A = this chain, B = another copy of it.
């Protein structure tokens, strides 16, 4: 490929299309500090909105990360908010996300715009009403300005489809930006967005975080309203459910999103939520963290091992963390059951949607083989539920008996991969299967010293060996992000964030 290895991260800075203040607004803040500035009047909402629209437009031309683009609406709303601010006697009365630009994965319905999710059969069918999270973000004062790319089927690690094409990884355009929230990941990496909202059913938020070096969180199912999100499965499908969560440039922005949403009465927006209150938990003095080196299915490649070791060593050296080596039971079995949940209705429903416009499978969808699985029965579904209930009991015991505050492990056995080779998600899928919240934090990038090593090291069978050998050394991979995953207990998402903030500050320094 001619553009092999091209890194586009700096183009927005040098292209000359953004003013100094636009570069400052988009480069030097996270959502939390941007919000402070917006409320304090450091910039107008319009100014900030235009800055992100411009940078998103640049990002779009570089890596093809956007789907629906509605900058005009956003700027119009920004002006309204500026007028609201002028009329406001007390800035504390401004809505919590006042003027903050937020980008959304294409799966969320935004009134007046398509929710095609990159399927030709849904093109030119503008949504009649907002999805729950879009409505909620607007009520909270946010600015919606664009939606972002996904894979055909919203199920693969490559955000590639026949409507919008493929999103590239801005650090290396011959690598995937991840999926299914890959457009968000790439847009965030180029800082065309400060806060992106995705969904995750087996890693769809966390995989793009790994690929793009962003922070992100898979909340427990139901904590963030999911109503009005387009799903390509048979309506009413139950079992493992998709969850809505943030991608951001700092962990405190993930906390900002979750806290703001949870404090705002999610139950009013979606009849199916788990409306947990935000408790303002205090950070603990000391943490017990289970350290998992690999999941027993795939062996982490050298840079990922180095990144995890670096994180573990830093935590061990601190006074605040006790590390407990941990082995995860039965991940392979659980992952197979997860795939069975995903294919309860077989592939017919997917294929029917593709066939309406005769669109072929994109390569990544063909590669994962998910659509060759047969449909299931009610009996098999109940049997899956029995096995999952048993697994949740086992993992609860693991947490309790080891008195864990969280588990630290790789977010994937590898970094971003070349196009269409990300075919498995055991590291992230396990926690979707169990419905445990998980945070991804970047810890390093691939260095020149991260040499390829003996494939014999991959000891979990031929699939492991094959995946392991994708890492060919720093020549192709240097500079790609290395990420770890921090997993907490189900519904204790706030506690997980508090734990992850402490770990992140030890590993990456105070923000």
Contact = CB atoms under 8 A, between A and B. Distances in A.
B234 A382 contact: yes
Interface in A267-318: 267-268, 271-277, 279
A277 B400 CA distance: 19
A19 interface: no
Contacts of A379: 234, 345
A377 interface: yes
A345 B386 CA distance: 15
A145 interface: no
Contacts of A347: none
B271 A274 contact: no
Contacts of A345: 378-379, 382
Interface stretch (A25-33, A43-51, A90-98, A235-243): A235-243
A383 B227 CA distance: 17
A271 B376 contact: no
A330 interface: no
Contacts of A271: 389, 392-393, 395-396, 490
A381 interface: yes
Contacts of A385: 235-238
A448 interface: no
Interface residues of A, number: 40
Nearest to A268: B400
A88 to B, nearest CB: 26
A382 B490 contact: no
A236 B377 contact: no
Given A279-B277, A491-B267, A492-B267, A381 B272 contact: no
Nearest to A344: B378
A265 to B, nearest CB: 10
A384 interface: yes
A279 B377 CA distance: 42
A375 interface: yes
Contacts of A279: 277
* Count of this chain's copies in the oligomeric assembly: 2
A276 B494 CA distance: 12
A378 B489 CA distance: 30
Interface string A4-40: 0000000000000000000000000000000000000
Given A267-B491, A376-B378, A381-B378, A235 B386 contact: yes
Interface in A224-265: 227, 234-239
Among A273, A376, A382, A384, chain B packs the most CB atoms within 10 A around the CB of: A382
Interface string A466-509: 00000000000000000000000111100000000000000000
A386 B236 contact: yes
A276 B238 CA distance: 23
Contacts of A392: 271-272
A334 to B, nearest CB: 14
A379 B236 CA distance: 9
A384 B236 contact: yes
Contacts of A227: 393
Contacts of A236: 381-386, 389
Contacts of A268: 396, 400
A383 B345 CA distance: 12
A356 to B, nearest CB: 20
Given A235-B382, A236-B382, A385-B236, A277 B277 contact: yes
A492 B382 CA distance: 29
Interface in A75-124: none
Contacts of A382: 234-238, 345
Among A236, A376, A490, chain B packs the most CB atoms within 10 A around the CB of: A236
A128 to B, nearest CB: 14
A395 B270 CA distance: 11
A491 B274 contact: yes
Contacts of A400: 268
Contacts of A383: 236
Given A236-B381, A384-B236, A274 B274 contact: yes
23 contacts: A227-B393, A234-B379, A234-B382, A235-B382, A235-B386, A237-B382, A238-B238, A238-B382, A267-B491, A267-B492, A268-B396, A271-B393, A271-B395, A271-B490, A272-B392, A274-B274, A276-B277, A277-B279, A344-B378, A345-B382, A377-B378, A378-B381, A381-B381
Given A268-B396, A271-B396, A277-B277, 5 more contacts: A236-B381, A271-B392, A271-B490, A273-B491, A276-B276
> Which 10 residue pairs spanning A and B have beta carbons closest together?
A236-B382, A236-B385, A271-B392, A236-B386, A271-B396, A378-B378, A235-B386, A271-B393, A275-B491, A234-B382
